[in-house]
Amino acid sequence: MSKKFISQPTRTGSFDLQNFLAAKTAAVNEALDRLLPSEKSKPATIHRAMRYSLFAGGKRIRPALCLAAAEACGGKESAALPLACAVECIHTYSLIHDDLPAMDDDDYRRGKLTNHKVFGEGIAVLAGDALLTVAFEIAAKCKGWPRYGHQKLILELASASGSLQLIAGQVADLEGEGKKISANELQYIHERKTSALLCCSVRLGGMSANCTAAQLKALTDFGYHVGLAFQVIDDILDVTQTSDKLGKTAGKDTKAQKATYPAIVGLEKSRKIAERLTARAFEALKPLGRCAAPLRGLAEYLLKRDR
Ligand code: GRG
């Protein structure tokens, strides 16, 4: 994992987040490599394009949250890994499509040229489609648990990525460009565009540990608030960091006249909002006890991150 990932070691009690993230990123990369068709599989172009974006150096936050949630419920990493990979595939698809000229029209992502800049728009659309599809294939092939059979797992992925959540958020984002929108409408966008998939990641981690209904409720509450905090911080970073640091074009939100927390309430209040949301996420973890240390560490890191 790149040293850039965390500029300062984050510690929650005796928990070492830097080591946790390095280990989980390595496990996820190895599993993704195993679960996806090789670059040589015919047609090679599409598999090269899928792998190009998947292995471009993303922070692997969603898989890390999934694995940490499994640990919080006493589960095994090996059981949660396929679901962690499925979520990362959906996330990467959404970034490839988000960068297309018809959407945000971006040239850089994860510090590299965007998928369509390298492979052309047609292949980039298909690479996104194929990553979305393979996520469901991976979930369908995983083992399933007594409380959470395949139907529940697949429904979880479908509802988080469908037209009422991830895509709804993107539609509202597109339609809100250049318009004055309220803080409530902005929250609607953040809940769907960002929080839904982060929440799905932790819920799937819990499911892979065959968690109880009470544990799933705690994870859902945590994921919702961490997801909202994540997007507020993302908006703050867009105006405070350089493109080089972010690995994508900074200042895009302002340029596209997008509604963001910094634009609506200013930077200082936005930071306070992110802190308040993170505190709510910590609160949600109480019923999970000490095993939730990795989730706590991740929430703290997400609040303090600089990229
Ligand atoms: C269906 C045509 C079509 C498009 C779907 C749903 C969608 C497009 C786009 C939403 C993608 C988006 C930009 C969501 C916002 C969430 C966000 C801040 C993503 C960046 O996440 P990081 O920082 O990225 O975890 P890395 O690269 O580190 O994985």
pLDDT digits (tens, 9 = 90+) for 94-137: 999 999 999 999 999 999 999 999 999 999 999 999 999 999 99
25 lines ligand 1 (CB under 6 A): no
Q: At residue 9, does pLDDT exceed 50?
A: no
Buried b (16+ CB within 10 A) or exposed e, 121-132: eebbbbbbebbb
pLDDT above 90 coverage of the chain, percent? 83
The larger pLDDT score, comparing residue 306 to residue 151, is at: 151
C-beta 110 within 6 A of ligand 1: yes
Q: Which of 61, 92, 194, 235, when mutated, tests ligand 1's pocket best, judged by the most ligand atoms within 8 Å of its CB? A: 194
- Residue 258 Cβ inside 6 Å of ligand 1? The answer reads no
Neighbours of 184 (CB within 10 A): 7
Query: How many angstroms separate the CA atoms of 237 and 84, rounded?
Result: 25
Q: Could you identify the atom of ligand 1 that is nearest to the CA of residue 230?
A: 18
pLDDT of residue 12: 54
Would the CB of 201 count as within 6 Å of ligand 1?
Answer: no
> Measured between alpha carbons, how far is 126 from 119 in angstroms, rounded to an integer?
10
Q: Which atom from ligand 1 is nearest to the alpha carbon of 167?
A: 6
100 pocket-lining for ligand 1 (C-beta < 6 Å): no
How much is the average pLDDT of 37-61? 97
C-beta of residue 101 within 8 angstroms of C-beta of residue 121: yes
The partner residues of 83 in beta bridges, in order of sequence, read none
Identify the band that residue 24 occupies on the pLDDT scale cut at 50, 70 and 90. Answer: very high
Residue 212 CA to ligand 1 centre (angstroms): 30
| Residue from 5, 54, 94 to probe ligand 1 pocket by mutation (most atoms less than 8 Å from CB) | 94
Contact 50, 127 (CB under 8 A): yes
Given a cut of 60, is residue 7 above it in pLDDT?
A: no
Which residues is 109 bridged to in the sheet?
Answer: 112
Task: Check pocket membership of 61 for ligand 1, CB cut-off 6 A.
Answer: yes
Specify the DSSP class assigned to residue 38.
Answer: P
Write the residue with the smallest CA distance to atom 29 of ligand 1.
58
Residue 157 contacts by C-beta under 8 Å, 6 or more apart in sequence?
A: 86, 87, 90, 135, 136, 139, 200, 204
Summarised one tens digit per residue, pLDDT across range 192-232 is 999 999 999 999 999 999 999 999 999 999 999 999 999 99
Token pair, residue 172, equals 């509202």
Q: How many CB atoms lie within 10 A of CB 204?
A: 30
Beta strands in the chain (DSSP E): 11-12, 15-16, 108-109, 112-113
- The whole-angstrom separation of Cα 144 and Cα 173 is 35
Q: Please indicate whether residue 92, judged by its CB atom, sits closer than 6 Å to ligand 1.
A: no
